[in-house]
Amino acid sequence: MTEILAGRLRRNNHAGPATNRSQKLGRNGGALLAIVALLFILIAALAPQLLTSADPDAVAPVDAFQSPSSTHFFGTDESGRDVYTRVVFGAANSLFIGIAATIVGLGLALILGMLGGLGGRVGDFVSTRVVEVMFALPGLLLALIFIAIAGPGVVTSTVAVGLSTAPGYARIIRSQLRSVRNSGYVEAATVLGHSRLRIVVQHILPGALAPIFVLGTLGVGQAIVWASSLGFLGLGVAPPAAEWGAMLSSGRTYIDVAWWLTVFPGLAIVATAASFTVLGRALNERTRQGGLG
């Protein structure tokens, strides 16, 4: 999906701002909805007690497999644990992995992208080949092998997801840095006789930073989806902890009797991923129109 973002960022100059008024209003409304949803998720992640008074790990075998009701909004699971509470408490894990994985991916990509965009011919050759090799391997294969080496867990799946998203980011950052390097103000700085390092730090990196920030926002949602896929395959966070992917994985066993174990954690993932995408697009629109502020 990062490739798609690449296209989107590249076409910045061509796509005009939202022309028609109702369209603009619709986009702003969507962005507002996304921000509200994300605030809600952020509260769930930082202070889950505000949203639920129950204990996510409280086992009550008598109450197992209750369908959604006014006492258990999302029903209960095979041990009688409240699914709503577990979804709320799962936000922290999923959000942390999503954001941290995106940072890891962008960090790796920044190294590769800088090597390619600013490192001269040799640097560009090396970085392009590395990115090509990473692209040729399906992302999940990289992730699976990395997990096999490091053992499953939060940190491992974070790095695994970062690793598999890095090549896409690297391509975008490389072309971004290249276009900034060839822009008028960098040329002006060169003519003024500024040192190479100063030009890179003072002019090129800040120029490329806003698009990278947008890229990261758009990427977090996808990273959460990725991480939950790993959790679903049983390779993410260890089972007793509440993590959306892991919840879906254990809910799969009971898919014939308890649909709510599958539906609600999945809804949380989709809502989070879609909100980050909408927010990222709104930011993209703003950076297009000049500055993030």
| 254 counts as binding other proteins under rule CB under 8 A | no
* DSSP structure class, residue 204: I
| 144 counts as binding other proteins under rule CB under 8 A | yes
| 148 counts as binding other proteins under rule CB under 8 A | yes
Sign of CA dihedral 163, 165, 168, 174: negative
For 14, 24, 111, 124, 159, the CA distances from 143, given in Å and listed in that order, are 36, 39, 20, 25, 8
| Phi/psi at 242 (5° precision) | -85, 110
Binding to other proteins, residues 168-227 (CB under 8 A): 168, 221, 225
Among 274, 286, 287, 288, binds other proteins (CB under 8 A): 274
| Phi/psi at 76 (5° precision) | -125, 160
Residue number, 43 or 263, with CB nearest to other proteins: 263
Binding to other proteins, residues 62-91 (CB under 8 A): none
- Paired strand residues for 76: 82
| Phi/psi at 82 (5° precision) | -75, 120
Among 127, 158, 228, 284, binds other proteins (CB under 8 A): 228
| 8 A C-beta contact, residue 83 and residue 72 | yes
Residue number, 92 or 247, with CB nearest to other proteins: 247
List of residues contacting other proteins (CB under 8 A): 1, 3-4, 7-8, 11, 14-15, 20, 22-23, 26, 129, 132-133, 135-141, 144-146, 148-149, 168, 221, 225, 228-229, 232-233, 248, 251-252, 255-256, 259, 262-263, 266, 269-270, 273-274, 277-278
